[in-house]
């Protein structure tokens, strides 16, 4: 299999799995109306999907090591296609929540096995370049996925979003079956005891767990923004569906620009300084929104422009904080540590949605307060961790 074909197939798989989260977001209000369900209940369709991704991410790595990358990818995409089709025929919101969970189980294969396949096929700088491209796909897809979803909703009902996802996933599945060659050179026997032991080794790493919560708490407020934005913009601020995608693209472009700036200036600014600055941006953004809410008010355009800077800060935090987390484990545990981090991100992201959903009142205030609380908790934890690291480094230097 040539390099171009391999890269194209993996990119398509990652793209399909990633847009499956965001393309669905504009449909939340219309699904709520269809099932006569509250916003709190409808948000659980997002939470169950996130939970499905979280749970499956723990197993796909081990399965792909034992079976091979191709069988694991085929299994995941097959589950995704079937679950997407069953979402169309959901007879109640709770049935939809159930099938959204299994859709997430299918989505989970993309990041874990996709990135593992890249590491099988490439090495050195070439591997880093391909992974960087895949990361760009992950970063950029939230910008056009809501736009694509809103375009579908202009002409069709929400059911067609799931039909579209099933169709493009089926095309990817057929391409994998006929054109993808397995990249795994040596298969490892599937041992539940060995998998459990390796995960326990990571969990017992105190620094890994503490730094993980920096990323995890960030994902708690991020998923709240993602699930609350369509209700706030489409229902409470009366933004037309045709404009929704363009507005969301404003703040997502902040994330993309932040990613570019982080890559270019990380060497000069420093990883920890970027994280500090990144946390400051959403903190100030949400405080400003609360002030505006109780004084002059704000338009949807102004909201997205303010969230632009919040998203930029998010880009500074996620990538750098993830690097700090993985720096706490041995190289042999990188795969398990990554899978466990994804699990934590998704589970606590879903938990954050569940906790905050009952407090949503059609305004920015509950969402902003939750975000501010999460950011302050993250800042406090980082302050403690950075001071402990500084003391340990000083002690090590004295000993030497």
Answer yes or no: do 233 and 362 share one domain.
yes
Mean of pLDDT values over 90-118? 87
Answer yes or no: do 167 and 210 share one domain.
no
To the nearest 10 degrees (0 to 180), the angle between helices 28-35 and 206-230 is 70
In a domain, 197, yes or no: no
Each residue of 205-238: pLDDT tens digit?
888 888 888 888 988 888 888 878 888 888 888 8
In a domain, 192, yes or no: no
Answer yes or no: do 147 and 240 share one domain.
no
Each residue of 316-334: pLDDT tens digit?
888 788 778 877 877 666 6
Q: How far is CA 78 from CA 54, 305, 377, in A?
A: 18, 39, 40
Answer yes or no: do 54 and 90 share one domain.
yes
Answer yes or no: do 340 and 243 share one domain.
yes
In a domain, 104, yes or no: yes
**DSSP character string of 4-64:** HHHHHHHHHHHHHHHHHHHTTGGGHHHHHHHHT--HHHHHHHHHHHHHHHHHHHHHHHHHH
Domain with 27 in it: what CATH number? 1.20.1250.20
In a domain, 198, yes or no: no
Answer yes or no: do 239 and 353 share one domain.
yes
Share of the chain above pLDDT 90, in %: 27
In a domain, 188, yes or no: no
For the record, the structure tokens of 248 come out as 């969301």
In a domain, 85, yes or no: yes
Nearest-CA neighbor of 251 among 272, 273, 232?
232
Each residue of 157-189: pLDDT tens digit?
999 999 999 999 999 999 988 888 776 666 666
Answer yes or no: do 214 and 115 share one domain.
no
- Per-residue pLDDT for 124 more than 60? no
Answer yes or no: do 150 and 244 share one domain.
no
Answer yes or no: do 299 and 163 share one domain.
no
Answer yes or no: do 290 and 353 share one domain.
yes
Answer yes or no: do 170 and 284 share one domain.
no
Answer yes or no: do 229 and 140 share one domain.
no
In a domain, 199, yes or no: no
Where in the sequence is the domain holding 178, given as residue range(s)? 1-125+133-182
Q: How many domains does the chain have?
A: 2
30-36: long-range pairs with CB below 8 Å, 24+: 30/153, 30/157, 30/158, 31/93, 31/96, 31/158, 34/157, 34/158, 35/92, 35/93, 35/96
User: What CA–CA distance (Å, rounded) separates 87 from 154?
Assistant: 20
For the record, the structure tokens of 36 come out as 């006569």
């Amino acid at each position: 299999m040539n390099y171009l074909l391999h890269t194209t197939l993996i990119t398509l798989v990652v793209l399909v799995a990633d847009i499956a989260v965001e393309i669905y977001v504009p449909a939340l209000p219309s699904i709520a109306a269809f099932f006569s369900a509250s916003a709190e209940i409808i948000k659980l369709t997002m939470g169950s999907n996130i939970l499905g991704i979280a749970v499956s991410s723990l197993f796909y790595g081990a399965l792909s090591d034992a079976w091979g990358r191709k069988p694991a990818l085929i299994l995941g995409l097959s589950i995704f296609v079937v679950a997407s089709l069953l979402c169309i025929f959901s007879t109640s919101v709770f049935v939809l929540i159930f099938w959204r969970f299994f859709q997430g189980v299918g989505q989970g294969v993309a990041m874990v096995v996709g990135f593992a396949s890249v590491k099988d096929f490439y090495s050195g700088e070439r591997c880093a370049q391909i992974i960087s491209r895949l990361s760009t796909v992950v970063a950029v897809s939230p910008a056009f996925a809501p736009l694509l979803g809103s375009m579908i909703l202009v002409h069709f009902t929400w059911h067609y979003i799931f039909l579209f996802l099933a169709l493009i996933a089926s095309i990817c599945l057929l391409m994998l079956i006929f054109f993808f060659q397995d990249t795994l050179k040596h298969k490892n026997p599937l041992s539940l005891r060995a998998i459990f032991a390796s995960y326990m080794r990571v969990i017992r790493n105190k620094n890994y767990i503490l730094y993980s919560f920096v990323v995890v708490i960030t994902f708690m407020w991020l998923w709240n923004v993602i699930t609350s934005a369509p209700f706030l913009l489409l229902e409470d601020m009366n933004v037309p569906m045709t404009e929704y995608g363009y507005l969301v693209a404003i703040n997502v472009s902040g994330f993309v620009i932040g990613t570019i700036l982080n890559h270019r200036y990380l060497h000069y600014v420093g990883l920890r300084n970027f994280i500090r600055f990144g946390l400051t941006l959403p903190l100030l953004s949400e405080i400003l929104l609360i002030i505006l809410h109780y004084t002059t008010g704000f338009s949807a355009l102004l909201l997205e422009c303010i969230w632009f800077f919040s998203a930029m800060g998010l880009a500074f935090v996620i990538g750098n904080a993830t690097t700090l987390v993985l720096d706490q484990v041995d190289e042999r545990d990188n795969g398990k540590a990554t899978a466990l981090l994804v699990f934590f991100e998704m589970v606590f992201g879903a938990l954050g949605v569940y906790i905050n959903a009952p407090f949503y009142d059609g305004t920015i205030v509950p969402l902003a307060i939750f975000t501010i609380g999460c950011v302050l908790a993250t800042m406090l934890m980082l302050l403690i961790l950075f001071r402990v690291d500084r003391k340990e480094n000083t002690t090590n230097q004295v000993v030497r």
